[in-house]
Amino acid sequence: MATSREWAEFDVIVIGGSYAGLSAAMQLARARRRVLVVDAGRRRNRFAHHSHGFLTQDGSEAAAIAAQGKAQLQAYPTVAWANETVVSAAADGDQFRVGFPDGGTAVGRRLVLATGVNDTLPPVEGLGERWGRSVFHCPYCHGYELDEGDIGVLATGELSMHHALMLPDWGRVTLFLNGAFVPDAAQAAALAARGVTVEAAPVARIEGEAELVLADGRRLPMAGLFVVPRTSLPSTGGGATLADQLGCALEAGPMGDFVRTDAQQATSVPGVFCCGDMARAAGNVAFAVAGGAMAGVAAHRSLIAELQQPI
Ligand SMILES: Cc1cc2nc3c(=O)[nH]c(=O)nc-3n(C[C@H](O)[C@H](O)[C@H](O)COP(=O)(O)OP(=O)(O)OC[C@H]3O[C@@H](n4cnc5c(N)ncnc54)[C@H](O)[C@@H]3O)c2cc1C
């Protein structure tokens, strides 16, 4: 965008132009509403080449799905796009004003937040650079391609029981406790019933494709490794998230906080809708697209509802 100050007022500003934001904006564009999509270009799955499990796009490049969605959206004449980061958002009378790093602003009557989440992995050497390639968090997304081979679960806490008990449907599972927790008797029995091997020796590092090197020197090559990350809402540079700046209520999820929404994807702040990973305890592309469609429709209906007529 040339300078954000030149931009007119929009019906809706969608912050985040990946799967959820694109889907929200598509509904609004098809209602001929003026939409501004602002996107910082850092999709959560940018570390993975391929995306699985989304109907008609199973195995497609993750980037290609987003690029095709963006191209189809931008064909609508009422859509404006900014490759920018929104650094501030606040109510401004009965509208909302969002701010950009250059000091420019844009105004919209409604906001859709679709900024996704950030992942934080445990500090194990070699883990981060394999994220999305041979280290994953979602069995439905990447479990099938491991061809029923040896699968490691690197524990980050008791939540890793979930991975360890699910993943035997995808291969032979070893749970690496790595000091994160010690299974109690009931958990140990459940792991045994699912045929899970439990390894207590600390993990020193990951090498090769997904080879775990243990502190005692043993090497255990795996077809893939699963880990539960901590998730957080993206900060805007100054520390506060957009949800915090706007005063949106949050919920505590098992992996991190997410924005509380109702069945219409409305947040606790009137006029602000939220969708995708930032509005769910756990997400994927299909859920992001579905939530985005609901947020777009609901934002549109809320504009019409200003007429005070039931629709
Ligand atoms: C390694 C990995 C592999 C995955 N594989 C799969 C898979 O195979 N299948 C599947 O269904 N799911 C997969 N997922 C999950 C999937 O990536 C997410 O569920 C999906 O990306 C959520 O979409 P979203 O639109 O909510 O958020 P995102 O895709 O994360 O997009 C959020 C967008 O908002 C932008 N943004 C953030 N803050 C701002 C701001 N302040 N201003 C402007 N823009 C901003 C970001 O830059 C980004 O472009 C995977 C996830 C990971 C981590």
Counting from 1 in the atom list of ligand 1, the atom nearest the Cα of 16 is: 34
Q: Is 15 in the pocket of ligand 1 (CB under 6 A)?
A: yes
At residue 288, the pLDDT reads 98
> What's the CA gap between 134 and 146, in Å, rounded?
9
> Which positions ≥6 away from 144 have C-beta within 8 Å?
52, 170
Mean pLDDT across 1-8: 50
More confident residue, 236 or 298: 298
Rounded CA separation 305/14 (Å):
19
Residue 294 has pLDDT above 70, yes or no: yes
Query: What does the pLDDT read at residue 9?
Result: 84
Q: Averaged over 90-104, what is the pLDDT?
A: 94
At 116, list the tokens.
Answer: 């996704």
Mean pLDDT, residues 4-16 taken together: 79
Which atom of ligand 1 is nearest to 279's Cα?
A: 26
Question: Residue whose CA is closest, atom 2 of ligand 1?
Answer: 45
The count of other CB atoms within 10 Å of the CB of residue 45 is 21
Q: Which of 291, 286, 278, 292 is nearest to 119 (CA)?
A: 278
Q: What is the pLDDT of residue 235?
A: 87
For the chain, how many residues are written?
A: 311
Name the pTM for this structure.
0.95
Question: Tens digits of per-residue pLDDT, 109-158?
Answer: 999 999 999 999 999 999 999 999 999 999 999 999 999 999 999 999 99
59 lines ligand 1 (CB under 6 A): no
Distance of CA 19 to the CA centre of its chain: 9
Q: What is the pLDDT of residues 221-245, one digit of tens each?
A: 999 999 999 999 998 876 799 999 9
289 vs 3, more confident: 289
Q: How far is the CA of 187 from the centre of ligand 1 (A)?
A: 32
Distance 45 CA to ligand 1 centre (A): 5
